[in-house]
Amino acid sequence: MFIRSAATLYIATLYVCLTEARHFASKPNVKCMPGFHIEWTRELSTSPIAATSLITDINADGELDVITATFAGDIHVLRASDGKSLPGTDWPYRLLQSTIHASPIQYDYNRDGMLDVIITTSQGEIHVVSWNGTFITKHQLDGLYVQRDWYKKILTAEEDNIHDYILDKPTDDPNYIVIDVHVLATPVLIDLNRDGSTEELIIPVSYFYDLDYYSTPELFDELNNGLSYSDLDNYLASSLIILNITDMSTVNTIHLELTKVKAEYPGYQLFSPTVLDLDGDDGPLEIITGSSAGHLHVYNSNGSIKPGFPIVTDTLHGQITVEDVTGDGVLDIIITDISSNVACYSATGQLQWEVQTSGSRPSGTRVASHHGNHSSQVILATDDGYVWVLDGTTGSVLDDWPFKIKGKLSTVPLITRIESLPSPVIMLLDSAGFLQILGLDKCRQAVTLKETSLVQVLSHDMIVTSPGLEFLIATDDGALICLRQTNETGLLPQDGVSHVNLFSWPMEVKNMNNFAFALYAVDIICDVQVTASSFLLTITLFDDDKMYNSSYGYNIQVHVGGLLLKTFRIQNINKVHVLEVPSPIHPIKGHLVVSCLDRYGRLAQQIVPISFYESLPNDVQWLLISPTVALGLLLLVLYAFPPEMLLPTYYQAKNR
């Protein structure tokens, strides 16, 4: 049963039987795993954290930071090494009377070389905030104009007839009313048309009246649209808005469903869309999304429906995973529904396999691929406390799985590496307050945290002085916990790519469209200060995918902030590439963003701090001031002191 309030909708979907426990401890219970201890904790708010944090270097100082948005509308930036607030900035940034379900996104809005932060509120406001926490601009998404009596004419409207009952533009026609806009998932910022500019923000929106909000008579009177309070739940719609984030103009709006709130399959958009090139022809990307109305949608970049879609399903729950799990060299689409079904479809909409697991609210899937043998496993956790590992080729459940834990699970599992284990491990926090660490090789451990969470665990090398990965946990009572392995020595590079770039998972979906663990990564080396007209960039690319085709190669884009410096095309992934990149015309300090895209538009990215021409003005200043200093010293010698103080003094020896 779906909750109608915008302030509680997404949390109620995830908040399944979470326990009340609030103490920190760590106690390993098996010997095959290393020990874990809490490096730092930070209380941010009394409200939950309903959106996954972002681990990044926000101020380009070479050290990682954590950007976290609380449900109550406070955006905090902490140093990843110790959890302290970032000094010398205006963070936290507070949005009064707003709630947040969407994770922060980085984008250089003002083209100064530094990546800014995009915050999307549940009420459809998009705020652009500079790296230091100062406001830049904001944009309000529009509501949807819907026929007042649409539900008297039809039960539900879908993409083939929804335009008979809605309008894309404002109108004064009294037969239409405006439905409030809500954003309940993280938008996707990507280069949709592959023109070399990453500026399309794809926003999943739901239109409805928040009944909790309008239960206050004064607020309900502000609607002034002739509806009674009992009529408000007759209006629910969902769409995808494609926004050009550069100028905040709407590129396109794709309308999906129009239903009642109390419909058997209400048309909410609760999860982020997935954006990839299903055809693999190195062309524009497709948008893949599922809705609670029970449809799997795939759209071309221009908004047209891809042949073979939509596919009618049960209510879908969890973001759609797109990876090649069947091993046939093309992308597959993995969906999960509230009837505990997991299904795999081909890029053309053909059912590959389907299996029933357990539970009623899966949170989505991840893919693990063992290096060398190209076998893929589909991994998911269910709200009844089971962790499932499925064979990607057939969908069959692997031996010794599912694994039942005492608590219930409401988040997407993190797939990561523990340095003492040869295979990946699954990490997630259960409703009993235990961090469950489950190895694919049967090694298992439960770390006692006595905390619960609504979002997945993240991983990164957050502490510079400590080798290996640390783990970030955001709790449902507004706290952040940094967990560290004891006696860690760090993982060795793999095929020239550091373990940090390969194994870390710093955001909700790695690089916006990568659902597989340790499959695709890029590693770069360059000077952090550049004074010449160009600089050398050393790139090592790791691709463990069976879909690799050398005839397509990879597109390399080098940006400083939002300024494109150079694009390259490389074919060979088995060697180190040294590329010459032109420097910006003007001095600039910011983020060097190196993006690698394969023919499917899958993104591997690394961001490092860099300064251009920063030392050149200092040299010029010394050249200008040196003659002045020399002249001053000469004048002091000639005129400011008596000769006897400057010249040697001779004394005549006494005759004896």
The first and second tokens of residue 581, run together, are 């990149």
Written as one string, the DSSP assignment of 133-182 is S-EEEEEE---EEEETTGGGT-S-B-TTTGGGTEESS----TTEEEEPEE
pLDDT of 440: 84
Instruction: Count CB neighbours of 22 within 10 A.
Output: 13
pLDDT of 204: 98
Across 192-205, average pLDDT: 94
pLDDT of 576: 85
pLDDT of 449: 93
pLDDT of 550: 60
The first and second tokens of residue 347, run together, are 């890029």
In the predicted structure, residue 530 carries a pLDDT above the cut 70? yes
Lowest-confidence region among 279-293, 304-318, 629-643 = 629-643
Bigger pLDDT: 345 vs 518: 345
For strand 135-140 and strand 125-129, is the pairing parallel, antiparallel, or unpaired?
antiparallel
pLDDT of 645: 54
Banded pLDDT at 15 (limits 50, 70, 90): very low
The first and second tokens of residue 233, run together, are 């739940």
Rg (CA), the chain: 28
In the predicted structure, residue 413 carries a pLDDT above the cut 70? yes
pLDDT of 249: 96
pLDDT of 19: 36
Give the span between the Cα atoms of 187 and 167, in whole angstroms: 23
Q: Please provide residue 9's backbone torsions phi and psi, each rounded to the nearest 5 degrees.
A: -60, -55
Banded pLDDT at 24 (limits 50, 70, 90): very low
Written as one string, the DSSP assignment of 195-210 is SS---EEEEEEEEE--
Segment of 30-39, 397-406, 572-581 carrying the highest mean pLDDT? 397-406
Across 360-366, average pLDDT: 91
Written as one string, the DSSP assignment of 504-548 is -B-SSSBTTTB-EETSEEEEEE--SEE-SSEEEEEEEEEE--TT-
Average pLDDT of the chain is 87
In the predicted structure, residue 5 carries a pLDDT above the cut 50? no
Give the span between the Cα atoms of 54 and 67, in whole angstroms: 5
Nearest alpha-carbon partner for 605 in 508, 536, 513:
513
pLDDT of 443: 84
pLDDT of 625: 78
Bigger pLDDT: 586 vs 98: 98
Helix or strand (DSSP H, E) at 619: helix 616-635
Distances (CA, A) of 36 to 177, 213, 461: 55, 43, 15
Banded pLDDT at 628 (limits 50, 70, 90): confident
Written as one string, the DSSP assignment of 341-357 is EEEEEETTS-EEEEEE-
Lowest-confidence region among 465-479, 532-546, 615-629 = 615-629
Nearest alpha-carbon partner for 427 in 463, 466, 453:
453
Across 477-481, average pLDDT: 96
Which residues lie below 8 Å from residue 569, measured CB to CB, with a gap of 6+?
Answer: 553, 554, 555, 556
Bigger pLDDT: 251 vs 530: 251
Lowest-confidence region among 190-194, 547-551, 579-583, 616-620 = 616-620
Across 104-129, average pLDDT: 97
pLDDT above 70 covers what percent of the chain?
Answer: 87
Give the span between the Cα atoms of 193 and 187, in whole angstroms: 17
Query: Which residue type occupies 74?
Result: D
Beta bridge partners of 484: 37, 470
Segment of 248-257, 354-363, 624-633 carrying the highest mean pLDDT? 248-257
pLDDT in tens, 223-269: 989 999 999 999 999 999 999 999 999 999 999 999 999 999 999 99
Across 18-37, average pLDDT: 51
DSSP state of 397: B
- Tokens 């190196």 locate to 594
Alpha helix positions (H), 8-72: 9-14
Does the reported pTM lie above 0.85?
yes
Nearest alpha-carbon partner for 559 in 108, 216, 210, 166:
108
Helix (H, G, I), strand (E, B) or coil at 337: strand
Give the span between the Cα atoms of 153 and 385, in whole angstroms: 43
Distances (CA, A) of 406 to 109, 400, 436: 46, 17, 10
Nearest alpha-carbon partner for 414 in 470, 485, 332:
470
- Tokens 């910011």 locate to 590
